[in-house]
Amino acid sequence: MTTTTNGSIERLLKLEGAYNVRDIGGYPAEGGATVQRGRFFRADGLHRLTGRDQELLLDKGLRTVIDLRHDDECLAKRNVFADSTALAYYNVSLINPATTIEADIRCLGDMYVNMLDECGPQLGRVFTLIAEAGDGSVLFHCAAGKDRTGVVASLLLDLAGVPKELIVQDYAETEINLAPLMAEFLAEMPEEMRSAGYDAFMGSAPENMEMLLEHLHARYGGAEAYLSSIGLSEAQLAELKRRLLEA
């Protein structure tokens, strides 16, 4: 991670085989703290990472990878770290936004709200793995690093006390980073889904994350209360906060 000429933090990793691998550190958090850099990375698909890319991530301390895709995705585009002996790899299948057909899901924001309400066991597993990961950094990813990954990232940042507007900003950046892959994603989408308007679910408009955060706080009281409600212990929550905030 580098600092740009205007003093802002450059979180995007310049890799050859992925476009949306980002450190979520550097954001201001509660009590004047800062989310620690080099602890948590969010990412798009890792199936095309080159040997150089893999070495770069391992050199940054990567020791745990959590793949949020479903089985078909994992088989079609196998994670390069799936059989690695250099780190721990886990697959926890969250819902796939591209194939979630529900009448009341009108936009991505609805989908994220639905994920919070309906995928507690899966999200509980993800956050338990993060809390118990031990030394080294953790990377979590899906296909685009936008929807499933975006929900996990937002919960981590909210738990750290990062201001809402910065969580929304972090989410919205994906649309810029993934521009080179949009044609590929659209080509892979079944024709019946394109004709049904599902191509509108390809972006990352800020209002979608705003919907998730409003629901998170209105219904659950924020990320800490939500994670507690889906089974994380006080010790696990304390460990998550420690990893997020302590140097």
Can you say whether the dihedral through the CA atoms of 220, 221, 225, 226 is positive or negative? positive
Residue of 74, 107, 119, 142 marked catalytic: 142
Q: How far apart, in whole angstroms, are the C-alpha atoms of residue 6 and residue 230?
A: 41
**Residues 6 or more apart in contact with residue 137 via CB below 8 angstroms:** 38, 39, 40, 41, 60, 61, 62, 63, 64
Pairing status of strand 88-91 against strand 137-141: unpaired
Q: How far apart, in whole angstroms, are the C-alpha atoms of residue 203 and residue 97?
A: 12
Cβ atoms 209, 171 nearer than 8 A = yes
- H-state helical runs in 81-119: 108-118
Cβ atoms 29, 161 nearer than 8 A = yes
74 part of the active site: no
Residues marked active site are found at 142
